[in-house]
Amino acid sequence: RHLRRTHPESKMIKEDPDAPPPIYYSCKLCAKVFLDERRLQHHEEAHLRKPEFFKCKFCGKKTISLKN
């Protein structure tokens, strides 16, 4: 990432014309796209996990995010 952003002229980041096109993996639940199948699997597992709720110590309301 650093080379591509900071040194766009670098020979190290020139595209290889013989390289195969990237394979994209899409989440079946939210359509988010990944270049790595392992990351897709991890992402899809996150959809299946039971969300952790945070309970307000004053009123008892439960939220998924501490920001709420």
The rounded distance, in Å, linking the Cα atoms of 13 and 2 is 10
- How far CA 43 is from CA of 12, 31, 52, 57, in Å, comes to 30, 11, 16, 31
CA angle in degrees (0–180, nearest 5) for 59-64-68: 60
- In the prediction, which pLDDT does 60 show? 87
- Percent of the chain's residues with pLDDT above 90: 32
pTM of this prediction? Answer: 0.50
Q: How confident is the model at residue 17 (pLDDT cuts 50, 70, 90)?
A: confident
